[in-house]
Chain A
Amino acid sequence: MGEPLLELRDMTVTYHTGRGPVPAVRGVDLVVDTGQTVGLAGESGCGKSTVALAVLRLLPTTARLGGKVLLNGEDVVAMKWGRLRAVRWASASVVFQGAMHALNPVRPVGEQLAEPILLHGGAGANTVSSRVGDLLEQVGLPARRARAYPHELSGGQRQRVMIAMALACDPQLIIADEPTTALDVMVQAQVLDLVSRLVSELGIGLMMISHDLSVLASTCQRLAVMYAGRIIEQGPARQVLQAPAHPYTKALSAAFPTIGDPESRLAPRGLPGDPPDPSALPPGCPFHPRCPSAFADCVDTDVALRPVDTGRSAACLLEVRP
């Protein structure tokens, strides 16, 4: 063992736009061990999807990726194109949000499942169709649905196809980017169950990205919360949710009512204001303009992530104030 499956070291992503550089990810450190499930939470625009795409260098050409992305100890940022293409999908695959658009609309799903298998030499041309059938059955779809086109499947079925596709080359890591956002609650629960079951059965590492803390709480062992391009709190999922150290995590978890607790349902607390514009971040702690417990030092102290407990860390001055 020794080295982790995926390790992000001071990862930065900057989009170069017509109006100057926009830092979307500003130094993220994150570790996913083999077989571990890690959740990445945050509001839209906090940079969490950028992190997901950056792991396999799938960002548009306007984006610059910095720091280190170590996949099995090998730096993805420094990889040559040929090596990168060999690593993509074979070592780490992605379950994209909204499988409606992430699947090619005019090709049968079986063909799209077979594509990475043939590309990465997972099977010969004659065994590939049985492999495709196995994959579909693994996610609870009959093998003959391989001939279906994406529009002939329901939203949940498409997401299952997407998950089957992610499993096609037996990767050690799956990155799931908002895999259940477009689904209704019942289907969402089924898809989450499926992902959790497959990941634990196959011993795959999972990085799950969502804005929905309840989704992450039910699937992930560890949880990292992002705000304005940085991780502001991380630790074991249950502890982070039940005793948040950072005011932002508190607000985020309070925004989702706890089932069986009438008090939290009757008094849902949202967070006032909007997430900051990444091209014009406030000085000091980027959260201070919206923070209910901000004090004078928050305005000019850029606070770093520091340990608050065993296996936990948070970036808040409240934690270090005597």
Chain B
Amino acid sequence: MIGPVSTALAPDLAPPTTPGGRGGGTVRHLATKLGGAVVSLLMVIVLGFFLFRVLPGDPVKTITRGAPVGPQQLAALRHELGLDKPIAAQFVDYLAQLARGDLGESYQFRVPVSTLIGERIGPTVLLVGVATALAILVGLWLGTRAAWRRGSRFDRISTGVALLLWSAPTFWLGLVLLTVTGNLFPSQGLINPNTPAGFLPQTLDLLHHLTLPCLTLVAVLYAQYLLVMRSSLLEEMNADYLVTAKAKGLRDDLVRRRHAVPNAMLPTVTLIFLNLGLVVSGAVTVETVFSWPGLGLLTYQALQGPDLPLLQGLFVVLAGAVLVMNLIAELLYQVIDPRVRAT
């Protein structure tokens, strides 16, 4: 037998090598992933710069719209913004600026891009955070139930409804919700300026404003969690170890709770983190419909210009969010799945 032989050798060999080897592997793995993320971010910076130069529209004309300006003034403004230089020179300037940690100044708002993003990130994180948390809860719960009773009426209806909402355009769904609820919920903004100061009324008003945009996002987002959880659990349900668990005398719901669902959750965890990164940018339409003052609305406003420094800054921040979440998903998977840890 191989087992006893190898364990007989183990006291001499295993303790110094095994933990060190495994730890070293993890560090090397982490370094590789981190390096990959940095390379991706550099590519995003390059891509973002050239992509937004191709956009139609002249930022200088947009800035001076409505004002009586002559060609000299336009040229002066162009020189001030550095737009009269060749593209290559502009790119070098941009890189130098980035290296100093400066994202530049917005054409439209005349304030540093970093200040704008800092102001707007809070509402987006609030909206997207709450919506994602709800979508995950609803999606996983419905997905588990649908898989456990595969082919039942509950399964067919919940999966069908989820797919329908998933395919609906977000802005359209938002408008429908606005129309259907009438005056029950405010149609725009974060908070009503007439709300009395104080924690409770302010919070309640915020929640009141949050309801509709949040509902719209949840309706659109939960389907993917439902479907991934459902298919992942269906796959697990055919696994032999569930028969073992049943043979041990476990109750049906314990077989599900202790063995099937935790294992089916593993691929879902990755999906959750991949989406957390994406969803920040995915809120553009919802924020625009409900005039929610977050990064999505800011992106929409920046596109009107095109407000090049603002767009580039947003692009870097949104892409950075995706990269960071991917890294977290990768690391988390190592922690929760022993099979990945070993390789």
Contacts and interface: CB of A to CB of B under 8 A. Distances in A.
Nearest to A88: B249
Interface stretch (B111-119, B235-243, B299-307): B235-243
A-side interface size class:
35 or more
Contacts of B250: 85, 115, 119
Contacts of B3: 140-142, 145, 153-154, 156-157, 160
A80 interface: no
Contacts of A154: 2-3
A243 to B, nearest CB: 36
A149 B249 contact: no
A98 B243 contact: no
**Chain B contact surface mostly:** helix
A58 B247 contact: yes
Interface stretch (B34-42, B181-189, B334-342): B334-342
B263 interface: yes
Contacts of B248: 88-89, 115-116, 119
B243 A102 contact: yes
A151 B342 contact: yes
B266 interface: yes
B101 interface: no
Nearest to B4: A140
Contact of B1 (A98, A103, A140): A140
A154 B5 CA distance: 13
A56 B245 CA distance: 12
Given A102-B244, A104-B241, A156 B249 contact: no
A103 B244 contact: yes
A279 interface: no
A94 B247 contact: yes
Nearest to B343: A151
B240 A116 contact: no
A105 B251 CA distance: 20
Given A140-B4, A160-B3, A89 B263 contact: no
A89 B246 CA distance: 9
A152 B342 contact: yes
A120 interface: yes
Contacts of B249: 85-90, 116, 119-120
Interface size on B, as a range, is 20 to 34
A116 B249 CA distance: 7
A58 B262 contact: no
B262 A142 contact: no
Contact of B337 (A106, A119, A142): A106
Interface in A130-158: 140-142, 145, 149, 151-154, 156-157
Given A105-B241, A190-B1, A88 B247 contact: yes
B7 interface: yes
Interface string A211-243: 000000000000000000000000000000000
A101 interface: yes
Contacts of A86: 249
Interface in A45-92: 53, 56, 58, 85-90
Interface in B165-205: none
B208 interface: no
Nearest to B252: A81
Interface in B200-252: 239-241, 243-251
A106 B243 contact: no
Nearest to A91: B249
B25 to A, nearest CB: 14
12 contacts: A94-B244, A96-B244, A101-B241, A102-B244, A115-B248, A142-B4, A142-B7, A149-B342, A151-B339, A154-B2, A156-B2, A157-B1
Nearest 6 A/B pairs, CB to CB: A88-B249, A101-B240, A116-B248, A85-B249, A149-B338, A104-B241
Given A85-B249, A96-B244, A156-B1, 9 more contacts: A58-B243, A58-B246, A93-B247, A102-B244, A104-B263, A106-B338, A142-B3, A151-B342, A154-B3
